[in-house]
Amino acid sequence: FLQFHGFTCGIDDLLLSQESNNERTDFLSRSEEHSEEAHKKFLCKKDVDTDRVELQMNVEKVVRRIGESANVALDKAMLSELNGLTTKVNKNMFPYGLQKPFPKNCLTLMTATGAKGGDVNMTQISSLLGSQDLEGARVPRMISGKSLPCFPPWDSSSRAGGYVSDRFLTGLRPQEYYFHCMAGRNG
């Protein structure tokens, strides 16, 4: 059978349908809202409206005053919030959000049968990489409060904390590539 019918993966096996891709973009556009909510929960100011700069200053005060335990609590809040978002995105995308449906899609066929790869590989290629976990914590901050020199000090954005909303199919930005490499070194 295989001598007459080849088994290969093409780009069309990796692509999301236009509708699913729009949903993905819509979900991920809310990642900053999730990040802000986690920071507000951390500060116990869930129902208070604060601007981004004030939020950053308050987080800095708490982390500098309390120390490592505050960082751990903030990391747990962020990971919980953003991992929920990642799960939601991926559940809506796979396997029915792909351009090519399951039995004809060679990538999902390989991962579903256990021949090669897994769900994580498929989601990282077609959907997003998600939170970069370094031994149960997010990307660490330097003494300046920055995770990388390109981000402002105490930046509350999900991206500055190592959340990668990009995917391998369309490419990673340099900062996200660096965060992913950091997480890969820990594994």
Average pLDDT per consecutive 10 residues, the chain (187 residues; last block may be shorter) = 69 92 92 90 81 88 91 91 92 87 85 86 92 88 92 92 94 95 80
Q: What is the CATH number of the domain that holds 49?
A: 1.10.132.30
User: Looking at residue 185, what is its pLDDT?
Assistant: 79
3-state secondary structure the chain: CCCCCCCCCCHHHCCECHHHHHHHHHHHHCHHHHHHHHHHHHCCCCCCCCCHHHHHHHHHHHHHHHCHHHHHHHHHHHHHHHHHHHHHHHHHHCCCCECCCHHHCHHHHHHHHCCCCCHHHHHHHHCCCEECCECCECCCCCCCCCCCCCCCCCCCCCHHHCEECCECCCECCHHHHHHHHHHHHHC
User: Looking at residue 2, what is its pLDDT?
Assistant: 57
User: Looking at residue 5, what is its pLDDT?
Assistant: 63
Residue 3 falls within a domain, yes or no?
Answer: no
Residue that the structure tokens 């005053």 belong to = 65
User: Looking at residue 6, what is its pLDDT?
Assistant: 65
Residue 165 falls within a domain, yes or no?
Answer: yes
User: Looking at residue 113, what is its pLDDT?
Assistant: 83
Q: Which of 125, 128, 175, 182 lies closest to 155 in space, CA to CA?
A: 175
Domain count, the chain: 1
Residue 167 falls within a domain, yes or no?
Answer: yes
Q: Which domain holds residue 140?
A: 11-186
Residue 4 falls within a domain, yes or no?
Answer: no
Residue 137 falls within a domain, yes or no?
Answer: yes
Q: Specify the pTM.
A: 0.86
Distances (CA, A) of 135 to 75, 129, 158, 183: 11, 17, 18, 8
Residue 2 falls within a domain, yes or no?
Answer: no
User: Looking at residue 117, what is its pLDDT?
Assistant: 86
Residue 159 falls within a domain, yes or no?
Answer: yes
Residue 145 falls within a domain, yes or no?
Answer: yes
